[in-house]
Amino acid sequence: MTSTRTSSDSLKPASDLQPLFDPDRAQRLMAGDGLDLLLASRRHNVAYLTDRFGILYWDYPEVAHCLEREDDGCEAPYYFAGVARNSSIPPFVVAHQNRAYVFKGKGWITDVRPCCDLPGQKPAIDCLVDALRERGLEEARIGVEMNHLPARVLMELMERLPEAHFTDARSTLWKMRSVKTPRELERQRQAYRIGEEVYRQVFRLVRERPGLTVNEVRGAQMETATRAGCPPLHFGYVKPQNERGKRAWSRDNTGATLIEPGDILFLDLGLIWQGYTTDFGRVAVLGRASTEVRAAYEKMRRCREAIAAAIRPGVKASDVFAAGARFRSENGLPAREGLGHSLGIECHEPPVLSPHDHTVIEEGMTLVIELVDGVGGIAFLLEDAGLVTAEGWKSLTTLSADLVEIC
């Protein structure tokens, strides 16, 4: 069913503010998938459609991201965002009443409906049905997240809107998110700029203050990111290892482990800037690397270059994987099941650089090349995100991909 309301070339925002996503692309994708409305229920997608991330990541004083039972006692703190294909139909948000302020007056969607399933309050299902009926969508094709929408909510929607057709829209949402708008890219770039400063701070600390513990370095990472306006780190691996038997993933390698001269640091950083994340890996040696370590790392770095050279618009993710796999086979590197992935709001998003993902790469995607290798029990991680341009893959970071030697 397609709404009889007047259509136009693109979705228009309900206020002077603009959506984070590309409305024209969203309209094309919904038309191609036969959808009249996208109804997001997973918090990542609600945040994406509304550009309000307080329900997803810590944003003082917001704590909704860590609550399954709300502080008012509600066991079902639901969040929904509805965006129609027809530009004359206004978008809407249904949000738990304690957190509705996250959306009210702060985003491009002006119709925000508080809900709560506690006695005496208006349940989420009533808010959803009202919003859909008011928009003339009783017979619409409504795309929902079948892997996330609670069965009770879906069953009630189907019962109360028997002429509507509910279908899985996960692929539509992923396709929307896979190609970034200029506003999204600026957030992603800023996240990597902050990540670069975090790494520079780590390198300074371990050079100037030998004998620090892992927890002390992680605390410095957190401080640097927080001062830059980020919420607490998504992750920040600092794993010291050496050729004398200290191993990155040993049970003895804890937050109290000392970082000592000669150690090789396995580093991985996931920080968030206005909803957009990094997945950023490096290797640093406290001193001079051995010939064996340097040679093994250089082989991994050249593998990264081979994968980057294969990324361009129009090729399949599986073809990029094949190019990387071929380099690894020809240069004595072990086979891997995957060599990278996309990222944005989440650290790992589709498409994935694997033999099973045949997604055609598009300009505007952000793809991470992720390589995990090593030598003699020492683990290496080299991981960067890059933007897919008409000319190919362009790294989002200016930090060198070379092995870092801290002397």
Torsion of Cα atoms, 49 then 353 then 387 then 222, to 10°: 70
Task: Enumerate the H helices of 179-334 as residue ranges.
Answer: 182-208, 214-227, 291-310, 317-330
Is 154 exposed, middle or buried, given 0-12, 13-18 or 19+ CB atoms closer than 10 A?
middle
Any idea which of 11-20, 58-67, 71-80 has the lowest mean pLDDT?
Answer: 58-67
Please, are residues 378 and 241 in contact by the beta-carbon 8 Å criterion?
Answer: yes
For the residues 9-20, what does the mean pLDDT come to? 59
Q: Between 389 and 13, where is the model more confident?
A: 389
Please, are residues 33 and 171 in contact by the beta-carbon 8 Å criterion?
Answer: yes
Summarize pLDDT for 111-133 with one digit per residue, the tens: 999 999 999 999 999 999 999 99
What type of residue sits at position 146?
M
If pLDDT is split at 50, 70 and 90, which confidence band does 383 have?
A: very high
Q: Which sign, positive or negative, has the C-alpha torsion 290, 249, 192, 26?
A: positive
If pLDDT is split at 50, 70 and 90, which confidence band does 70 have?
A: confident
pLDDT at position 58 is 57
Q: Between 234 and 66, where is the model more confident?
A: 234
Which residues is 370 bridged to in the sheet? 383
Average confidence score pLDDT of the chain: 92
Q: In the 3-class helix/strand/coil scheme, how is 295-310 assigned residue by residue?
A: HHHHHHHHHHHHHHHH
For the residues 232-245, what does the mean pLDDT come to? 91
For the residues 383-400, what does the mean pLDDT come to? 97
E strands within 243-306?
264-270, 272-273, 276-277, 280-286
Q: What domains sit in the chain, N to C, each tagged with a CATH number?
A: 23-177 (3.40.350.10), 182-406 (3.90.230.10)
pLDDT at position 5 is 37
Q: How far apart are CA 401 and CA 398, in angstroms?
A: 9
Most confident of 141-145, 148-152, 243-247: 141-145
Strands 280-286 and 404-406: parallel
pLDDT at position 63 is 60
DSSP string, 314-331: TSBHHHHHHHHHHHHHHT
Q: How far apart are CA 98 and CA 223, in angstroms?
A: 30
Residue with tokens 């009443």: 97
DSSP H or E segment with residue 45: helix 43-50
For the residues 362-391, what does the mean pLDDT come to? 97
Summarize pLDDT for 249-278 with one digit per residue, the tens: 998 899 999 999 999 999 999 999 999 999
DSSP 88: T
pLDDT at position 62 is 56
For the residues 280-297, what does the mean pLDDT come to? 97
